[in-house]
Every structure is written in C-alpha cells, then in structure tokens.
Amino acid sequence: MTRQDLYNQIQLKKSFLCLGLDPDLEKMPEQLIASSEEPLFDFCKAIVDEVQHLCVAVKINTAFFEAYGETGYASLSKLIHYIKSHYPDLFTIADAKRGDIGNTSLRYAKAFYEAMPFDSITIAPYMGKDSVEPFLTYKDKHAILLALTSNHGAADFQVAKNAETPLFKEVLTTSLNYENADRLMYVVGATKAEYLKEIRTLVPDAFLLIPGVGAQGGSLKDVFENGANKQIGLLVNSSRGILYASKGEDYVAAAAKVAASLQNQMQKLLI
C-alpha cells in the first residue's frame, strides 16, 4: 500500500483514524470470554467489522497475542489474514517494535510482511542503519520508526535536556539517509504535540503514527494543526478508548460510537 493509496482512503472516508487492537482478556466482556473458543480473535473481529468504514488503518499490538503462546499466535495470524482478505483498503500495522542486527531484522521482516501480510511494522531504531534497512527492502511496505513516543519515560533519552541535539531529532535526520527512506514512517506521541511543527520541518512528507489521543489525553485538534501536511500525513491511533468503551453486551456498539465521534471530529478538521 503506497502513501498515495493511504491518502486516497483518507479523502474517501474523511478520516485519518487508526484503530488500535490491544485485546486484554482482563478488560474484555466476560460473556464473550465465557462463550468464545477464540476470544482474542472474536473480540477484535467484531470491532473491526463494525468500525472499518470509519478508519483507514488498523494497528495490532502483537504483545497482546504473544502473551498467550501458541493460541495467541494462531489468533494473530488468523486476524491479520481476515482483515487483509475482507478489508484490503485498510492499512495494517504490526505494533511489534522490532529491531536487531541485519540478518535477524530480515527474518522479522519476512515474518511480518510475508508469513503475516502486514503493510508495516513499528521499529526501535536504537541499533541503527543495518537494523532498519532490512525492513525497507520490500516494495510498498513501510517501517515505522519510534521517534518521539507518548510515554513518560520518553524524557530519559528522546528529549534529554543535557543533549545538544535531542535523540528524536537524530533519529529523524539520520534515517532520511537510509536506503529506501521513502518507505519510512514515524511514531510521534499526541502528548508531544508541541514538537510536531519542528518535526514537520525535518520530515515534511512522511506519515506520522500518532498514539496518545483519548486515554492518554492528547489533543486531536493540536495534532492536526501542528502535524498535518499536504497529504494529511497523520494516522491518529485510538486503542483503549474504542475497545473498552463498554464491558457489557453492547461493547461493539459502544466501540462504534466512540470511533464515529473521532471520525466526525476528523471530518470537521479536514474541511
């Protein structure tokens, strides 16, 4: 899926919403867990089916599947294949935060781009060029580098005040020299919206994956006004706010209501 394809979907759906799938058995409706043989898959499938017309991307947090071993991996594989076969216009993200020496990264790329047909994967860039470039060898696939994250610990390294140039700026500027750098996207937390204008001067054309709107308190309006480019260039993720809008039998309808509210806000910003 190309950046132009993604922009076309944003225009069509009047949305730049990314649905985050973090299925937590401790937060899911008890009646679903009791009645389902595959609760991770069934929970996610039901919500995707209901909100797919409101979003342009789906981000699957692989840890919430990996935690359950063999059955979790089976549900993860089943879910991504279901999404790609039923909703091929959704941009899919493996939120796996991989990154290792070159030959290992190549195997991770093979796992998430071939065995499980994701369009993209989140990457920790700490090990540098040879750990990132293997993910950029696949045409129309994308690596999403962690640049400036929304968690409190981001201040430890990413924006350390004793550094002449903050690490997140080094990540952005250095990565532009990687081979096939046009296939890069970046994670920038919504709680760091004050940095977005500066980030846009460094990566004016890249798509930014923006977590932190909703449960973490980030402002959608601030993100859009400071971070949008000519192709919008934003994928604003909401996970917990949508998934756990209700723990009752109405969980699907409640999730759709929250997603529709976000899409409506986005539509107004896009006008």
- In this structure, what are the phi and psi dihedrals at residue 143, rounded to the nearest 5 degrees? -105, 130
List, in sequence order, every residue forming a beta bridge with 144; answer none if it has no partner. 122, 185
Active-site residue, from 97, 129, 141, 268: 97
The conformation of residue 120, written as its DSSP 8-state character, comes to E
The position carrying tokens 């699907």 is 252
Residue of 217, 226, 222 lying closest to 151 (CA atoms) = 217
Q: Is 230 one of the annotated active-site residues of the chain? A: no
Residues recognised as catalytic: 97
